[in-house]
Amino acid sequence: MRRTKIVATLGPASIGSDRLGELIRAGVDVVRLNFSHGSPASHAAAAAMARELAQAQGRTVGILADLQGPKIRIGKFGNGPITLAPGQPFIFDAACKSGDDTVVGLDYAELPQDVHAGDELLLDDGRISMRVERIVGGAIHCRVLNGGVLSDHKGINRRGGGLTAPALTDKDRADIRIAADIGADYLAVSFVRNADDVTLARQLLHAAGGHAAIVAKIERTEAIAELDSILDEADAIMVARGDLAVEVGNAAVPAHQKRMIRSAREKHKLVITATQMMESMIDNPVPTRAEVSDVANAVIDGTDAVMLSAETAVGKFPLETVRMMASICEEAEREIPFGPEIKRGKAASREQSVARSAVFTANNLEVKAIAALTQSGMTAQLMSHLDTLAPIYALSPLASTRGKATLFRNVYPIDFSLPSHDPAEVLAAAEASLKRHGAVDDGDLIVLTIGEPIGKEGGTNTMKIVQVGEARTA
């Protein structure tokens, strides 16, 4: 079974019951709603369709709502795209309404206050670069370093970061309410600067009645320096390599990615690796060898999930891309060393102690599966970062918990309600549920975690070793 989860962005190439149903069948675990595009109605319809199709296949699919964030863009050109040559002077001026080959407007009027002479500005994901020569009022006078074709509304960044635009725009605040209405399982916050941005997003989400887990997208230079505090506040991070590469440079991204994955695992937080993972498959039915290695390395490093963006949103081969990514993940996972030892150290909580015990036991016995009977999903999440060959099943009556578990590495959610508070009946029902899902057969050993007394709130405190089908009494 594939342990690493696949997040797929929905768009014209993947919306539609037949296409989306095929993608879920091929292995999509979480669908991403990109709030940079679409309407509230289209997002709600896509989320409902994904859940319905997954349920028809006996699965749960998570919903990730991804906020646009403060995309800083240039304005429009009066006569279409222009071509810039190295050495050419060029001006950015918020007062300009119709650009030409000498000047263009800005949708972020504060940019002149954020930059200084000598700064390097990057446009269109770094394809075009300019050196700031001087600031005159609200106009930024530059000299082109690397030229090319520049068209309307392209993004603009400063090399090294430092732009003061807040992480949450007015549009984002409205979209948070939409995400809450949809019942999104995850809310991704773009261009996070520090832990305060995560805190604010969570407050706004809760005020709107939402309970999604917060994903902090790490794509600003400032966020790298604040990574530990961001991880403490967020539920997950996304290694958002596109804008991050523009700010810190392409060469710095791989090392940052490895550090982010390692730090997230150490803090028992989730991590998604994203951007251009299978970019060539937008137009081609097979990936490059470099893309295969990129995905495999993220898996071996321990990422919880790998994400597809344009590949499944607008690409020509969305189904082939998901199948290929699933295959790469499975091959890479065969190279991950699994051993009987669990990293030593003091457990931070009762749930963590039980999680360690369950995985240690599973790794030292021929255990077919680990079953976590859970309300919050916390024990299953803690076990997901302790390497084990045994699949972990999160048995929960709560749709919100099952939705979140779709992103946990090596965890598979199952809809399960307690038949009673009688331990023997609960165990028999859990075994029956696992058997229905093809997870176990009579005679198999399973490790089960549960909170006792059964039905009483208080968290997981018990681990049992059980033989499926064994006669037992309460």
Q: CA torsion angle for 169, 264, 199, 182 (degrees, to 10)?
A: 60
Distance CA 143, CA 111 (A): 17
- Cα 68 from Cα 172, distance rounded (Å): 7
419 Ramachandran zone, left/alpha/beta (phi>0; psi -120 to 50): alpha
Say how far apart CA 453 and CA 164 lie, in whole Å: 52
H runs (alpha helix) in 102-169:
111-114
- CA Rg value for the chain: 24
Helix H, strand E, coil C: the string for 246-290 is HHHCHHHHHHHHHHHHHHHHHCCCEEEEECCCCHHHHCCCCCCHH
What pairs with residue 136 in β-bridges?
A: 139
> Sign of torsion, CA 36 37 39 40?
negative
Adjacent-strand bridge partners of 63:
31
- Which active-site residues does the annotation give? 32, 73, 217, 275
Phi, psi of 188 (to 5 degrees): -95, 125
Q: What backbone torsions phi and psi does residue 148 show, to the nearest 5 degrees?
A: 150, -175
Q: Tell me how many degrees the CA angle 394-232-201 measures, rounded to the nearest 5.
A: 85
Residue pair 272/4 in contact by the 8 Å Cβ criterion: no
- In degrees, rounded to 5, the angle at the alpha carbon of residue 265 between the alpha carbons of residues 60 and 358 is 70
φ, ψ dihedrals at 347, nearest 5°: -70, 140
DSSP string, 391-455: -EEEEES-HHHHHHHTTSTTEEEEE---S-S-HHHHHHHHHHHHHHTTS--TT-EEEEEE-SSTT
Report the SS3 class of residue 237.
strand
Residue 174 neighbours by CB distance under 10 Å:
12
For 280, the token pair is: 């060539």
Cβ atoms of 450 and 418 within 8 Å: the answer is no
Angstrom distance (rounded) from CA 380 to CA 449: 9
State how far the Cα of 202 lies from the Cα of 110, in Å rounded to an integer.
Answer: 27
Helical packing angle, 170-182 and 40-56, nearest 10°: 30
